Structure 1
Amino acid sequence: MSKKSRTLLNRNLHRDIGYFYVGLIIAFSISGIALNHRTDFDPQEYTVKTEQLEVDIPEDAEKIDDAFLKELAKTITSAEYRGNRRRGNEARLYFKDAFASVNLQTGKGEIEYVRTIPFLGQMTILHKTTNKWWIWFSDIFGVAMLIIAITGMFIAKGKYSFRKRGWVLAVLGLIFPFIFLFLIR
């Protein structure tokens, strides 16, 4: 394959794969930025209403198991129960569009009713989903990003080529992630 044909192939692959994935690139970029700031706000959902609650807890801690928490959930809300998580003396009960936190010693807690933030909430779900088809699509997307990066290195010619100038910028771009990975913990 001639040098001109390789350059044309690189440009075409870079352009067409970029066009195909531009929507996903934008969605991942916006939601990724939002997820970087998840300690400042929840980019996936917002609280509509919070209610205090108090429930009866058995004195015998052995009786507080998954079956008990599932039954307890029915007394808290009619929303669809989705599961629980226990940490120490607190149980978190998950419902469709709500979650409750209950102190397992006092029986006091609260329930928060939530809604997904339009667009941004759905985009953040893409980062966390475990749907097998989405994982395959995301893996293909990752390979496509590698192709875009690699073909992009060989598009420019002359004094702006990867060999003359691009490699320096690429090395500088690699330094920052390594600084954060190894020096700032």
Structure 2
Amino acid sequence: MDKKAKARWLKQLHQWHWVSSALCLVCMVLFSVTGITLNHAAQIDGEPKVEELTATLPEPLLAALNRQDQGALPQSLRDWLSQDLDIGVDGREAEWSGQEVYLAMPRAGGDAWLAIDRSSGEVLYENTDRGWIAFLNDLHKGRDTGTVWRWFIDIFAVATLLFAFTGLALMFLHARRRPATWPVTALGLVLPWLLIAFFMH
């Protein structure tokens, strides 16, 4: 490769490399830290906070509930839950049976559920908060984080690949002046496989 072509490639690769590194910086730190916390989940104590609540549905709302047997809860019932009990259900699909209506509300870092008895109108609600570490771990895994966050993880992964491959291309262009480049790269490739072969059961 002649000097002018090499200079053009270097300029272009440096630009893509720093842009992708800037895009990935915060997320790479987050995903690296949560990789450690996930790897040591058994050693990191986290006491979940559980909130329980009971109530009785007003008769008009119970009647509205019993006129329905699928889909989301009636809007009037959702408004009552939000205003009187501070429970937001956001039009989630419920599970309907002859005896009760059950609504699962999992989220990153916690869980919640709501059950309504269709004959008595008794409302049971439980909310579990597992703390910030659990929240960040769930962001790492994409667990109960929604479609937008899962798309974000995919885009971040593509940007990280771009960062890695532009770094590889820069190493290739600088390799002549840095003789340790390929031995160290080969070590990074072989070491994980050696660990898998000899230390994983």
Same fold (TM over 0.5): yes
Partner of 1:20: 23
Does 2:151 align with 1:136?
yes
Paired residue for 2:104, among 82, 98, 101?
82
Give the whole-Å Cα distance in 2 for the aligned partners of 1:141 and 1:152.
16
**Structure 2 length-normalised TM:** 0.53
CA shift, 1:67, in A, is: 9.0
CA shift, 1:129, in A, is: 2.2
Match of 2:139, SS?
A: helix
* C-alpha contact (below 8 Å) 2:142/2:149 kept by paired residues: yes
Partner of 2:163: 148
Partner of 2:65: none
Count how many residue pairs are aligned between Structure 1 and Structure 2.
Answer: 133
* C-alpha contact (below 8 Å) 2:111/2:129 kept by paired residues: no
Which whole-Å deviations, capped at 9, do the CAs of 1:31-88 have from their partners, x for residues lacking one? 111001112235xx53347xxxxxxxxxxxxxxxx999x97xxxxxxxx9638xxxxx
**Between structures 1 and 2, the one with greater strand share:** 1
Dislocated runs of 4+, deviation >4 Å: none
Does 2:38 align with 1:47?
no
- The one-letter amino acid of 1:136's match is W
Within 5 A, what are the aligned runs for 1:1-185? 2-41=5-44, 45-48=46-49, 82=104, 96=112, 114-118=128-132, 120-129=133-142, 131-155=146-170, 157=174, 158-160=176-178, 164-183=179-198, 184-185=200-201
- Unaligned regions of 5+ residues in structure 2, if any? 51-94, 114-125
Q: Percent identity?
A: 25
- Unaligned regions of 5+ residues in structure 1, if any? 50-65, 72-79, 84-93, 98-111
Larger Rg: 2
RMSD: 3.6
CA shift, 1:18, in A, is: 0.6
Give the whole-Å Cα distance in 2 for the aligned partners of 1:114 and 1:176.
41
Match of 2:44, SS?
A: coil
- The one-letter amino acid of 1:96's match is A
Give the whole-Å Cα distance in 2 for the aligned partners of 1:121 and 1:95.
11
